[in-house]
Amino acid sequence: MRITELNAIQILDSRGNPTLKVLAWVDGISGEFSVPSGASTGSHEALELRDGGSAFDGQGVKKAIENIKGPISDLIVGQDPFDLRAIDNMMNRLDGTDNKAVLGANAILGVSGAVTVASANALKIPLFQYIRDIYENDGHWQSDLNIKVDDYIMPKMYFNILNGGKHAENNVDIQETMIVPQKKTIAENIKIASEIYHSLKKVLISKNMSVGLGDEGGFAPNLESNTKVFEVVLEAIEKAGYVSGKDVAIAIDVAATEIFSHDKDDKYILGSEGVGLNSQQLVSWYKELATTYPIISIEDGLSEDDWDGWKHMTERIGDKIQLVGDDLFVTNPVRIKKGIDEGAGTAVLIKINQIGTITETLDAIHLALKNKMKCMVSHRSGETTDSFIADLVVGTGVGQIKSGAPARGERTAKYNRLLEIEEYLINNK
């Protein structure tokens, strides 16, 4: 089999901005992949190619489409679709930069993803199984996880139910407050998340607060303080009939790079608290929060280049709370290796568009897991209804995923795909 054609069109993401849908054909069998986009992006991420100019406020992706239809197609059409690493390497060499700035990470990722989906379709196997096959064939599997290769791990799901930071027009500093249901099945946990989400809406209405939504589908009210976030969430959990800390845990994404200020003595500015804190003071605040509330995971608790602060945070609370690096690691093996060497963080957030190809994403997962760091597969704030990451988290067995609220099509597409995979595995034991 050979790649016979590539194509791409400009579509809209969940924020109404342009992005790419890429289509690939393997001997006439098609696969498609839609590229997500972030809002609070790390400065070390691979670069999207945007058009500039007046159309779509400069956010158009016609140049990336031209690169796919032109030089990338010239390179890739006719190649073996099942050697994804060779395809990804060819595109990276053609681009010639460390951050994919010439062809665009959005163009390269779109092709890498679409070829992966088309290949699975051509083989007539589920996408998660094909991703597992790629991972195994690179020699990654047995060294990473102590499970049989014919087993699949269904992930814990981190549901974003309250938005703040750059994902909402409110005064809440914490970018994401998530609930993590603790039952065994995807179906049970989605039921819990949905019920608490609707319970939270009722709680907010009862307090005459806004039930408008942020970028990722969570509610985005103005609140008196950041700690008020946890109080309303705990109330919603209780009124939905669940016990916090037992049935449901809490996780947060602080996105601390966004609140770090060089202009204010390198402090982290908590606007709703009216304070500026240094790294150690902020870590003390996290420790206090985790003592008071059932918080099991903190993402981006410190900024992307505060390596000393991350080391201190890991030493102080990393044995009790999962410390996830997003902007810190940007799914980049070089930065992940630095985190491993320096003892910064205990988990890596995996976002495929941060690194820009599927095989480089698998390399990042492999590096983290073999060094005893956990991983969490993640959506972006600018999403599409593409459900690729649901298959990715099952195929790699990393055991954790976040995809926003249990509401809105671009978020529920991933959760619904996990329901389908769970049902498929039950019926095909």
**Can you tell me the distance from the alpha carbon of 229 to that of 317, in angstroms, rounded to the nearest whole number?**
21
Is-contact 39 382, C-beta < 8 A?
yes
Please provide the DSSP assignment of 325-367 as one string: ESTTTTT-HHHHHHHHHHT--SEEEE-HHHH-SHHHHHHHHHH
Which amino acid does the sequence have at 157?
M
For strands 275-277 and 322-325, give the pairing: unpaired
**Can you tell me the distance from the alpha carbon of 204 to that of 80, in angstroms, rounded to the nearest whole number?**
54
**Can you tell me the distance from the alpha carbon of 178 to that of 412, in angstroms, rounded to the nearest whole number?**
15
User: CA dihedral defined by 195, 201, 207, 210, rounded to 10 degrees?
Assistant: 160
Catalytic annotation present for 216: yes
Paired tokens of 12? 């809209």
Q: Name the active-site residue from 156, 166, 351, 402.
A: 351
Chain mean position to CA 129: 20
Q: Name the active-site residue from 32, 176, 195, 216.
A: 216
Within 8 A by CB and 6+ apart from 17, the residues are 37, 56, 59, 382
Paired tokens of 391? 């298959």
- CB 267: neighbour CB atoms within 10 A? 18
- Where does residue 241 fall: left (phi above 0), alpha (psi -120 to 50 degrees), or beta otherwise? left
Paired tokens of 248? 């449901």
Which amino acid does the sequence have at 64?
A
- CB 237: neighbour CB atoms within 10 A? 27
Q: What is the largest CA-CA distance in the chain?
A: 61
Is-contact 14 32, C-beta < 8 A?
no
* Catalytic residue positions, numbered: 216, 351
